[in-house]
Structures are given as structure tokens and as C-alpha cells.
Chain A
Amino acid sequence: MKIKQFLLIPALFGISVSTAIAQQVPCYFKYRDEGIQEMRQKKFSDANNLYWLAFLCSDKPEKNDLSDLIQQCQANWVRDLEVSVQQQKVAYEAAVTARQEAEASKVSEEKARREAEKNARKAREQGIRAESLRMALVSDMVRQKGRISDALTLAYLALQMAGPDLSPPMMRAFGDAVRDSFTHTLFNSPDILERMEPLNGNATGVLLKINGGNYYILRDGSNDMQSQVTRLDSDLSNVTASPRGDRFIGWGKSPKIQIFDATGAEVAVLTGHSEPIRTAAFSPDGQLIVTGSRDNTARLWSHTGNPLAVLDGHTGNVQQVVFAPDGSYFLTRASDGTARTWSLQGTLLAVFQADDAYLRTVCIAPDSKQIAAVFSDGQARLHTPDGKQITALNPKDQPAKDVIFAAASPILAVCVGAKTVQTCTTSGTALATCIHQTEVTGMALAADGSALLTWAKDHVVRLWDNHGKLLHELRGHRTDVTEAAFSPDGRHILTTSKDGTTKLWDLEGNILTDWVSGPNALVQFLPNETAMLTVMNGGRSVARIPFPEQIYGQMNRQDVLDSAGAKAVLEEFKVQFLDALTARQ
């Protein structure tokens, strides 16, 4: 601003001086000619000034063309400016266009770059997926050739490489490798095993029955259980273990009952029944024993063998005795078609029976507050232990076949008709109805009642949520499924089949591993461990198999990738995308 003011003052001074000079000096023609020259040179501003100076000259003729020249100059100037504006406009538009093109080019370049990056990333991911799948398949192949350790390493690295993008073959390869690497044989039997029961919920004690009737107790043999086998009396037809696994009740064809300690030594003989024993049970605290016999009575004993009460009333063989889970009462069921509940002092609490119907099945809820009974006419009812009916569990036109309780929630499942399973609360509120196309042959509830497993004659196990929505169909068994169960943590499913195979599944319906467990397909989750106890080798061995997840966790805590074995395997099988493996580790 200051500079402009500084220049304005001399300019005004110059114009004034020029005007004054022009008025005094004859200059008309000079300025006019110079103006014309300037106008021809398109210096319209100078030409215009010169014309105006000529206008002030003293020798200006009266008739002059200065006005015309000024108008012409201005007109030319305007035209020139218009041309210039037009040119600038075109230039501007061209520049804008150029800029837009440049910008568009930049965008497309960026887009192309992004696309290329995306494609590269996708190709890499697909490559990684393909490579991890290849590793899983190679793991399977080397496992079948007997290179178990290499198979495990490869399968583990395949999972590591795949990250969260796991496919069923990878999980299966790792599960099979874990099975072959970590299966620990606890016992080799001389004959096919008929029964296997972990004691106290772990694999350090197992009760076994071998074909032909001999019972064995395996003890504390995490590494060499074979050397710690105790054979019980050979005349026993049945044996029941105490909840802590430290006492055993055994009975055979005679009316006497034998009590054995953990070493298999006989500590007491209970006599009193007049006919052979049919059933026996320990109370949850192991302090009481109740026995049922073909003499139509049940007897209550102390754990040391002292007789406490004789329970008369049944008119048929006592077939089942069971203590309530809280130990507050016990129940007897007999072939007279009734069940009875008794106090711990031997007082009759209630009789469960129906007019013109035979009591087939009875079970006690985990909280001991309800008893479910299924009768021969198909009615299923829920009672209190003192015999009051809470609710009917099925409509009269749909006969019930079986009832089960969830282990840790007030939910039960009822198989009604041939193809339907219904779940409800213990207060009778219906939750879900699961309808099948073929006859249902079994069902199992998750401990918290959140999911239901059913299996049917189509050899498929189905997983349902507690609203009756079918989540997954577990297909893989080729003959009738005999049993299915949730793991204690509810994250795995075990299924067995008449073909003698056992399969371990995740909750997404993927097979994690499978094996041949023999004709009786004895297999159980170990409640206190992340493992399974199973028979193998055609039903002649007892083995412990850990969950694949557990081994994966263990391997994650080790530097598997840095081990010499892993490096050798990676080199031998020319594993690609090692950077991804390293990054994920």
C-alpha cells in the first residue's frame, strides 16, 4: 500500500506537468501520429494517452479526428482485450482441463496402485492359504509313512501359516498328527474291553471290565499304568466305584456283596439279601451304600458294611438304585413298574407309578429337586422327590421315549414320538422343538443347556441351539451313531458309531480327528482334563488322547519354528511364504 502511494504522487505530478506543457506547446500532430503508431502496435493505452494529450495541444485544429481516433482506439482496445480474454479463457479452460486430466490420471494411478496392491495381497493370501493347505496334506502323507514328528511339525506350521483362515483339512491334519503323536497307551488288555470308567474324573485311575467278566483297576500310572493293574475277584458280574474312586462294590451270582479298597483288597462282605444283587450305588459323599436285589428289597449300608435299613415295599426285582446328586435322598426302581424315593434313614418318601402303565425310565435332576419319569403308555412327568407332580412333559398324543437333564442348568430334553425332541425348563416352559426326518435314536444336552445334540437313523448327528435352530449337521459316520456327547467345557463333541469309529468334532461341525475304538466304542471325556480316554487296538487297549487345542497351545509356547526339526522340514518340503510364518509367529 505504501509503495502504491509513493508511486501515485510522481505519476500525478508527471501528468500535470505534461498537460501544462501540452497546452503551451504545439504538439497536436506529433501526439496524434505517435498515438496512431502506438495504436497500430496495439499499445492502446499509450495511444489513448497520446490522443488525449493531442486533445490538449494548442495547435489542435477545430475539426479533428481525435474523438474518432479515441473511440477507434478504445474499440480496438476492447476488441483486443476481448480477444485476449477469450484466449485466456481458452487457456484457462485448457489449464483446467489439463489439471482435471492430471488429477484424473492421478486418481486412476492411485486406483490402479491400490488395485494392484489389493491383487498382490489377495494373491499372497491365496498363496498362503494354498501353501498352508499343501503343508497340511503333506503332513497327512508323511504321517501315513510313519514320520509322526515331522507330520506334527508340518501340521502345526500349516495352522500357524493359515492364521485365522483355517480350513477343515488343516484342523483334521493337525488333530490326526496330535492323535498319532500324543496317544498314550495306559493298558493292554488280554481281551476286548466291555466297560471303561475313569475314577474320580481323571485318567490316573480307571475301572475296566474285560470280555469274560474280569474287572481291573488301573492306578496312578501316568507313564506305566500297565504295571499297576489290580484284578478284582473273578466271580464278579458287576462293580460300582465310589465317587472318589477309592472303594468298589462288587457282586456276582450270589446274594453277597463285596467291598474292595483302592488296592483291590476285600475290606467287607455284606450279607443279608436272599437273592442275587441287581444294582448298587454309593452316596455322593461315599459314606452310604444302597443295594438292590432280586429278593424285591433294597438295603442301606454304611460304607464300612454295617446294615442300616431294609427297604421293603417293591414287589419285583429292584433294578436300579440311585442317590440324589445332593445326597439328600435316594431312589429305587423295580420290575413291579414303580419307583420309590427314600430318606437316608430308610423312610419311604413317595411312590412313583401310573394307572395301567409300567414305569420304564426315571432320572433325577442335577439339583435333586425334580424327578422325571417315563411310563410305558408314553406319558412323561416331572415330580418333586416327595411325589408331587410338577408338570406333564409331553402331550398325550405324542408318547415320550426318553428324558434327559442338562448337567448344570434347569433344562431337560424329551424325545417325543419317533422324530421329535423338545426342550423345556424344569418348570415346564417349552424352549425348542427339533424335528427330524428319520427316527431319533439318542440325544445329549450341553451342561449349560445352551445346545442340544441329537442323532438319528440317518447316521447324522445334529447340533441345535436352545431355540431349536439347527446349527450344524455332523456327517461322517457310515453306520448308526451309538453315542454323542459334549466335552465338559462344551467346545468339543465326541461321537461313536456301530462301525467302531469315534470322531472328535468342533462346534462348527468340523472333524478334528477320528480313530477306531473297537467293537464297543468305549470313549469318554475326562472331566478334569483336556483329554479323552478311549479304547483302541480293536478294543484291547486303553489310551489317553489330548485335545488338539491343548497341544497347539503347548507348541505355541515353544519356539517350534526355530527348532532344527522345523527348519529341516521346511527345507525338505520347500515351504513358501516363510515370511508370513515368521510374521505370524
Chain B
Amino acid sequence: MRYLLFILILAGQNTGFAQNLYPLQSISDSLGFRLVLANRQPALQWLAVPDAVLGARRGNYPMVTAIMLRESDLVVQYEPGRSPADQSYRIELDLQLPDGSRIVPQPHELTETTADADKGIRELVWLDALEYLPDFGPTYALHLHRTRMGAVNCSGERPVFSLKKQLPHYAAAGAGLALVGLGQVYNQQKKDSYAQYKAYWADGKTREEADDPFLKTAKDKKTAAEASTYIGLALLGADALWYTLRAIKINRRQKTYDTFCAPPATSSLQFRPAIFPAGIQPGVGFSLTFSLSRP
């Protein structure tokens, strides 16, 4: 039984790990640069000092600490920010060539490593990005996108623990209760059978006449009653646990949705011009509206 509970809890947790992540919020920076030669090696020359990008902490986003060319690789060093448990971040790069075309790195061209474990600095490396920069004169742009990722899809509906989602839990709870009830029935049958066995025994019947039919039945009923009751209770417990986990998860998603996806809250008290139709009090004036529902 303990193993069963453990598996159920793990399964509940795993559904959280396997969930899809969606972009919640992002910031994008465009950094213009030219290629220059320093000590016979190409280097980036920024057109404007990117102070707002480099070394500036913005919210919970990872902080970019350096962008450089290392041989032919383009390296972005960053310090990951603190993220809530169900959120993560994503850093993406692309290059804009002078003709306006964009180059997005292929998956095999990107690696991510720890640059300084003590300071918690990591590196996103675009391998051999220099090969995409053909000329030394023109202006290029590096687009840096930092995205906060969460388990809520902002383009979808607000997460709700709907009746449809709750129904399997109710069904499981019903099944658990039914099993417990069945266990009680078996228990009663066990008691009856055992009482009969004892009655026959007391009446001085032989062992062959009394023992086999009633004691065996009582033992069988006892086994069945225990199995039904325990399975039913386990099902009830697991269902309650799963229900609670889902409710917590959905509640957390609702909070995330309300924070990142909901449109800006408008005042429930609104005062605006209005035209009143003929019949009541025709004319033009102002209306005062108070909304009782969530906008």
C-alpha cells in the first residue's frame, strides 16, 4: 500500500515536470555592431555602449554580463535570475545581416556551459557564428531575446479546475467508497459466518460437520473484506491527494495566468458618456457603471 501511494505521488509530481512550457513575458534587445580586427583576430565593435543590456538586472530575467567573439564563436555570458518553482527562462539569439535577413542558429550550433561556477555565470555559445558575418565594414545587429517560460499558455483560456476535470476524481472517489462499503458487507458476512461456526461448535457438532463450511467462509469473507476496504481507502486517499495536487497546480497556474496573461485590470466603476434612447428620458449624458464580475 505504501508503494502504491509513493507511485501515485510520483506520478502526480511527474505530470508537473512533463508539462509544456509557454512564453509568458520576454524582453528583446538589439545590439548593433561592426566587425573589426584586433591583433589579427575579429572582434565586435558595438555601435552604442550596450549598458542597458550588459550587467543590468531587469526583473527576474537572467542578467547578461558579457557578449564577445571567442575565436569564431559568439559567446553570451549571463547570470541566471531567481525564478519561481514553476517557471524557467530561455535565452535566444539571432543575427541580422546588413541586407535585413535574419540568421537563427541551428540547434547543433548552440552549446550552454558553466563559465564560472562560483559566481553562477553561464555561457551560451553560438559555435562558429563568425562564418555568418561575411564583411568587416557593414553594420550587423545581434538580437537577444530573454523569455520567461511557464506552464500557462497565454493565448489560451484561463486555467480552471472544471467539473469535467473533476469528474474522474469523483468517479475514483465513488469507486473507493463503493469498495469500502463492499468491505463492510463482507465484514458483516464474515461475522455472521463465524457466529454460525461458533454456534455449531457450541452445539457439539463434529469438526467435519461444523468446521469446514462456516469457518472457511468466515476466513474468506475476512480476506475479501480487508482487501476491499484497504483498496477502497487507498483509492480514496490517492484520489484525494491527486485532487489536491491538481488543485494546487491549477491554482498556481491561475495566479501565473492572472499575473502574466490577463489584460490590464480595469476599474469596476466606470463613468462614461452615454446616449439615452427615446421613451425613458431621451438625451445625452453620462452613465455610471459598477461591475460585479471580474473584468
Residues of chain B in range 1-41 having any CB-CB distance to chain A below 8 Å: 35, 37, 40-41
CA distance A254 to B136 in the complex (A): 31
Given contacts A213-B107, A361-B134, contact A316 B72 (CB under 8 A): yes
| Pair B71/A316 contact, Cβ less than 8 Å | yes
Q: Write the chain A residue with the least CB distance to B100.
A: A480
Q: Judging by beta carbons under 8 Å apart, are B128 and A317 in contact?
A: yes
> In the complex, A210→B106 CA distance in Å?
12
Per-position binary interface string of chain B over residues 235-264, scored 1 when its CB falls under 8 Å from any chain A CB and 0 otherwise = 000000000000000000000000000000
- For the complex, is A436 an interface residue (Cβ under 8 Å from B)? no
Q: B128–A358 contact, CB under 8 A? A: no
B37, A213: Cβ atoms closer than 8 Å: no
Q: Bound complex: CA of A423 vs CA of B41, how far in Å?
A: 31
Instruction: Say yes or no: B72 contacts A335, CB within 8 Å.
Output: yes
- In this assembly, does B181 line the interface, its C-beta being within 8 Å of a C-beta of chain A? no
Partner of A335, one of B35, B37, B130, B134: B130
A399 CB-CB contact with B under 8 Å: yes
In A342-396, the 8 Å CB interface with B consists of 356-358, 360-361, 376-378
Interface string of B92-121 (1 = CB under 8 A from A): 000000011100001111000000000000
Known: A237-B106, A358-B37. A480 touches B99 (CB 8 A): yes
The CA of A401 and the CA of B134, in the complex, are separated in Å by 9
A276 to chain B, nearest CB (A): 8
- Given A337-B40, A337-B41, A358-B40: A213 touches B128 (CB 8 Å cut-off): no
Picked from B101, B128, B134, the residue with its CB within 8 Å of the CB of A360 is: B134
The distance from the CB of B34 to the nearest CB of chain A, in whole angstroms, is 11
Are B134's CB and A399's CB within 8 A? no
Question: For A357, what are the chain B residues with a Cβ–Cβ distance below 8 Å?
Answer: 37
| Cα–Cα, bound, A253→B136 (Å) | 29
A252 CB-CB contact with B under 8 Å: yes
What does the 1/0 interface line of B30-58 toward A look like (CB < 8 Å)?
Answer: 00000101001110000000000000000
Determine whether the beta carbon of B108 is less than 8 Å from that of A401.
no
Q: A278–B128 contact, CB under 8 A?
A: yes
Minimum distance in angstroms from A438 CB to a CB of chain B: 11
Whether the Cβ atoms of B40 and A356 lie closer than 8 Å is yes
Count of chain A residues near B, Cβ 8 A:
26
Q: Is A498 an interface residue (CB 8 A)?
A: yes
Assembled-state Cα–Cα distance A213/B108 (Å): 9
Tell me the bound Cα distance from A360 to B137 in angstroms.
12
Residue B131 at the A interface, CB < 8 A?
yes
Contacts of B42 in A (CB 8 A): 337, 358, 376
- Residues of B contacting A377 in the complex (Cβ-Cβ under 8 angstroms): 136
A358 cross-chain contacts in B, Cβ below 8 A: 37, 40-42, 136
Shortest CB–CB separation between residue B126 and chain A, in angstroms? 13
Using known A-B contacts A335-B72, A356-B37, determine if residue A319 contacts B131 with beta carbons closer than 8 Å.
yes
Indicate whether A492 reaches chain B with its CB closer than 8 angstroms: no
Q: Which residues of B contact A498 (CB under 8 A)?
A: 101
Verify B128–A335 contact, CB threshold 8 A: yes
Contact A317 B72 (CB under 8 A): yes
| B142 part of interface (Cβ distance < 8 Å) | no
When distances are taken between beta carbons in the complex, the residues of chain A under 8 Å from B137 are 378, 399
Q: Which residues from chain A contact B99 at a C-beta distance below 8 Å?
A: 441, 457, 480
B107, A360: Cβ atoms under 8 Å?
Answer: no
CB of A294 within 8 Å of the partner chain: yes
Q: Which B residues are CB-close (under 8 A) to A253?
A: 108
A window 308-323: CB within 8 A of B: 316-317, 319
Q: Roughly how many angstroms separate A356 CA and B41 CA in the complex, as a whole number? A: 9
B106 to chain A, nearest CB (A): 7
A337 surroundings in chain B (CB, below 8 A) = 40-42
Identify which of B35, B37, B109 gathers the most chain A CB atoms within 10 Å of its CB.
Answer: B37
Chain B residues near A335: list those with CB within 8 A. Answer: 71-72, 128, 130-131
- Chain A residue with Cβ nearest B135: A401
Interface status of B127 (Cβ within 8 A of chain A): yes
In the docked arrangement, what's the CA distance between A337 and B38, Å?
12
Interface centre among B40, B99, B100, B134 (most CB of A within 10 A): B40
Q: How far apart are the CA atoms of A357 and B137 in the complex, in Å?
A: 13
* Shortest distance from the beta carbon of A224 to any chain B beta carbon, whole Å: 31
For A457, give the chain B residue with the smallest CB separation.
B99
Q: Which residues of A contact B71 (CB under 8 A)?
A: 316-317, 335
Would you give the 0/1 interface string for A10-41, flagging 1 where the beta carbon is closer than 8 Å to chain B? 00000000000000000000000000000000
CB distance from B40 to the nearest CB of A (A): 6
Closest Cβ of chain B to A209, distance in Å, is 10
Closest Cβ–Cβ distance, residue B70 to chain A (whole Å): 10
Besides the known contacts A317-B71, A335-B130, 16 further A-B residue pairs in the complex with CB atoms under 8 A apart = A237-B106, A237-B108, A317-B72, A317-B128, A335-B128, A337-B42, A357-B37, A358-B41, A358-B42, A376-B35, A376-B37, A376-B42, A377-B136, A401-B134, A441-B99, A498-B101
11 interchain pairs (CB within 8 A)?
A294-B127, A335-B131, A356-B40, A358-B136, A361-B134, A376-B42, A378-B137, A399-B137, A480-B100, A480-B101, A498-B101
Q: Give the 6 A-B residue pairs with the shortest CB-CB distance, closest first.
A: A335-B72, A237-B108, A376-B136, A253-B108, A317-B72, A335-B71
